[in-house]
Structure 1
Amino acid sequence: MSIRVLLADDQAMVRSGLRLILEDQPDIDVIAEASDGGQAVALARRLRPDVCLVDIRMPRLDGIEVTRALAGPDVPDPLRVVVVTTFDLDEYVYGALRGGAVGFVLKDAGPALLVEAVRAAHAGDALVSPSVTVRLLRHLRSTTAPGSGRPARALTEREAEVVRAIARGRTNREIAAELFITLSTVKSHVSGIQTKLGLRNRVEIAAWAWENSVVGLG
C-alpha cells in the first residue's frame, strides 16, 4: 500500500517540484495539496494522510501552527508531520519539533533525504536534516539548564546507549549494527524508553537527551 502524502506550501512551483520527487517513488502517492495553513489543517483532518509535508511560512496559519493543530500534545489522534522549509532558523526547528513534528528537512537537502523523511515518518521513525542537528544541539544547550527537562525513570545502561544513538540521528538499523543487537530488540528498547520518559516519538527522545546533557556535541 502506498504512503499517502499531503503537501502544504504556498508556492505552486514548490508543490509541483515536491510532487514530482515523491510520485517518482513506487511507494508514495500525493493525495492532496494545500496552499495555506488553514487549508492544510482542513484537508489533513478530512483525508487523514499518512504523512503531511508542511512549509514553515504560509498564509493564515504558519507551519508551526499547522503542526500543533495536527500533531500537538493535545491532539487525540495525531497525524505525522514533517516540516520541509528553506528556513533553518533555530526557533523554527525547535518550535516545529516541540509542536509534534517527526521531521525537519531543508528544501536544499536533496530529493533522497525528502523521500527518506517521508518513509521514516510513515514507519514511526523521525529524521532531521544533518545540517540542522548540531546547531539545534547548541541552541538547546545554551537555553536549557542541565537536568531541567522531564525527569526520567531509571534507564538501563543499554537504554541509555540507545537514547544517545537516537540523539545523534542514528536509525534503528544503524543502532542495531553499532550495539550488536537485533532490529526487534532496538524497537523494544525505543518503546520502553518512550514509556519511561513519557515521550511520543524519537524526536522527543532526542530533544530530551539534548536538554538533559545525555549526549555530547562531539
Structure 2
Amino acid sequence: MSEEVTVLEEVTVLLADDHHLVRSALAGLVDSADGMRVVGQAADGAEAVALAADLRPAVVLMDLSMPVLDGVEATRQIVAARADAHVVVLTSFSDATRVGDALAAGAVGYLLKDCDPRDLIAAVRSAAQGYAPLDPRVARALLPATTASPADRLSVRELQVLRLLGKGLANKQIGRALGISERTVKAHVGHVFRQLGVTDRTSAALWGQQHLPDE
C-alpha cells in the first residue's frame, strides 16, 4: 500500500539589495527555511527588474536605496510588467513618505531590516499567499495623528470588502459578490490592512465585526 505524500508548492524568492553581505545573510536565512529557495540576487534596481521578468519569483524582497534604479521605481516596473508580482520592501526607512511611495508603486508589504528573522520568513510566506505583510511600526507611521476611526478613511467599496472579509469570504468570492476583479479585491484588502494597522484577514475581520455597525 503506497503512502500519500503532500507536496507543498515551493516559494521562490528574488533578493534585491546593493549590499553583498546583506544579500548573503538573507540568502542563508531564506534557503534554510522549509519550502523556500532563493532563485536570484540583484545588486541594483535595474537588475532586479530584469531578473524578476526572467525568473518570475513568487516574492521579491526589495531594498529601497539602490543604485541605477531605486527600489520604488523598480517595484513599479516589476508590478507593471507582471500584475501578480509580490514585492515586499525590506529597508531601514520607516517614514510615512517612503512607505507610501513604495505601496503606491505596488509593493504588497513593507518590513524593516531589524525585524525578527522569523517575522521575515512569515512575511514572505504571507506575501506568496496573497496577503499584505506590514511591520506594525510602519503601520503606525501611516496612520495620521487623529482620534477619528480608521473606518472613516475607508471608501464605501473598502467597507463592503471589509464586511465580506468578516463573513469569511475569499478574494475570489468577494469579487464575485461585488462584481469586481480578484486583483481589485486584493488591492482593496491591502489598503484596508494598512488603514486598520493589521497584517492578516482574521484581524481585519475581527476589527470589522467589533467596530462596523450592522447593515
Q: Smaller-chain TM-score range? A: 0.7 to 0.9
Equivalent pairs, count: 185
- What residue number does 1:104 align with? 110
SS at match of 2:88: strand
SS at match of 1:205: helix
Q: Could you tell me how far apart the structure 1 residues matched to 2:88 and 2:14 are?
A: 10
Q: Which amino acid aligns with 1:86?
A: S
Q: Which residues of structure 1 form unaligned runs of 5+?
A: 163-178
Closer/same/farther in 2, CA of residues 52 and 138 from structure 1, 3 Å limit: same
Match status 1:195 vs 2:180: yes
Q: Could you tell me how far apart the structure 2 residues matched to 1:141 and 1:95 are?
A: 25
Q: Could you tell me how far apart the structure 2 residues matched to 1:205 and 1:112 are?
A: 24
Out of 157, 166, 171, the residue aligned to residue 152 of structure 1 is: 157
Closer/same/farther in 2, CA of residues 140 and 203 from structure 1, 3 Å limit: farther
Q: Is the 8 Å Cα contact of residues 53 and 82 (structure 1) preserved in structure 2?
A: yes
Out of 98, 116, 124, the residue aligned to residue 130 of structure 2 is: 124
- Greater C-alpha radius of gyration: 2
Q: Could you tell me how far apart the structure 1 residues matched to 2:98 and 2:146 are?
A: 13
- What residue number does 1:206 align with? 193
Q: Is the 8 Å Cα contact of residues 86 and 128 (structure 2) preserved in structure 1?
A: yes
- What residue number does 2:46 align with? 38
Q: CA deviation at 1:138?
A: 1.7
Out of 14, 17, 27, the residue aligned to residue 35 of structure 2 is: 27
Q: Which residues of structure 2 form unaligned runs of 5+?
A: 1-8, 198-207
Q: Is the 8 Å Cα contact of residues 105 and 113 (structure 1) preserved in structure 2?
A: no
Q: Which amino acid aligns with 1:113?
A: D
Out of 52, 58, 66, the residue aligned to residue 66 of structure 2 is: 58
Match status 1:86 vs 2:59: no
Q: CA deviation at 1:78?
A: 3.7
Q: What is the aligned-residue identity percentage?
A: 33
Q: Per-residue displacement from partner, 1:144-179 (whole Å, max 9, x unpaired)?
A: xx66x76538728833xx4xxxxxxxxxxxxxxxx6
Q: Could you tell me how far apart the structure 2 residues matched to 1:190 and 1:152 are?
A: 11
- What residue number does 2:26 align with? 18
Q: Could you tell me how far apart the structure 1 residues matched to 2:180 and 2:192 are?
A: 11
Moved over 4 A (4+): 139-142, 188-194, 196-199, 207-210
Closer/same/farther in 2, CA of residues 59 and 156 from structure 1, 3 Å limit: closer
Closer/same/farther in 2, CA of residues 153 and 15 from structure 1, 3 Å limit: closer
Q: Is the 8 Å Cα contact of residues 174 and 185 (structure 2) preserved in structure 1?
A: no
TM-score (norm 2): 0.73
